[in-house]
Amino acid sequence: MELKKIWQERSALVEAQLVKELNEENPLDKTLCESMKYSLMAGGKRLRPVMLMAAADAVGAKGTDYLTTACALEMIHTYSLIHDDLPAMDDDDYRRGKLTNHKVYGAGMATLAGDALLTLAFEVMLRQQGVKAETLVQVVREISIAAGPDGMGGGQALDLESENKQISMETMKKIHLGKTGALFRAAIRSGAILGGASEEALQALTVYADNFGLAFQITDDILDVIGDEAVIGKPVGSDEKNHKSTYVTLTSLEEAQKLAQEAVDTAVNALQMFGDEADFLRELVAYLVKRNK
């Protein structure tokens, strides 16, 4: 399977659909809309929507049928990045090689842009066609949990409270399970649910998603130490600047790399019940620990 080719093709579909969804809106304030578009259309891997479609493929459905819901996930992810970069959070000046939203539009407008994207995402989800109402309710619940206090919101709060503190590995895992892992889990589970997955398939894909999220976060921590700022598109060393504990600081670079590979192996093993339709997911998590951004 040509991982990058399929990824690029589906990313292009996501880009086009995001433009379409934004054009559906008639906002009261032009600057707010510009601020939302600035971050939403700033590029990026479009990883979460691609994962949602891949999970639907894995259970025998056609992933691209759920492009609308996939785009809603990207809106939620973008909201989280805008807020994460704010002066009161990580206080980062660059994201994806561009000035962060608050550096262009100010902290107040950036906050509103994030809020608006999060709320718009749920409206967009409800535009999904060809899905039974009860299935869509189940998906909205999955994504709501991922975005709320038991997911991204809670993880970000723990992260904020942990700055300048020595935390345990257990606490750090809770932070990353919420802040980073929750939306990966929602992407995979939502795609599987939309695709009509059995309970056995859903549980197997959940194990995959959780270990994918773990490997992704550990790799992020590693790149913050050894990554190339020009390639990553944002400053490296921000964890050290903010005195944050990471998998690298709590173990070592070598141990973190080992933990990442173990998570990849567990994720791949979780897909044993699936056929060739899950090859994209297998290759994706293997590629993950080798990425440079």
Full domain range(s) for residue 246: 3-288
Instruction: With respect to residue 293, please indicate whether it lies within any of the assigned structural domains.
Output: no
Q: What angle do CA 135, 49, 34 make, to 5 degrees?
A: 110
**Chain centre distance of CA 261:** 20
Segment 239-260 mean pLDDT = 83
pTM of the model: 0.92
Whether the predicted pLDDT of 34 surpasses 90 = yes
- List all residues 6 or more positions away from 2 whose beta carbon is below 8 Å from its beta carbon: none
Whether the predicted pLDDT of 226 surpasses 90 = no
DSSP state of 277: G
Alpha-carbon distance of 245 to 82, in angstroms, equals 22
Alpha-carbon distance of 81 to 156, in angstroms, equals 11
Structure tokens that stand for 150 in this block:
């038991």
Instruction: With respect to residue 140, please indicate whether it lies within any of the assigned structural domains.
Output: yes
Segment 249-264 mean pLDDT = 93
Confidence category of residue 219, pLDDT binned at 50, 70, 90: very high
Confidence category of residue 230, pLDDT binned at 50, 70, 90: very low
Q: Which of 273, 125, 283 is nearest to 203 (CA)?
A: 273
- Weakest-pLDDT range from 49-63, 72-86, 166-180: 166-180
Q: What is the CATH number of the domain that holds 80?
A: 1.10.600.10
Alpha-carbon distance of 233 to 90, in angstroms, equals 16
Whether the predicted pLDDT of 157 surpasses 80 = yes
Given a contact cutoff of 8 angstroms between Cβ atoms, the answer to whether 258 and 199 are in contact is no
pLDDT score at 206: 98
Encode pLDDT of 86-133 as tens digits. 999 989 999 988 999 999 999 999 999 999 999 999 999 999 999 999
- What average pLDDT does the structure give for the chain? 92
Domain count, the chain: 1
Token pair 């909205």: residue: 140
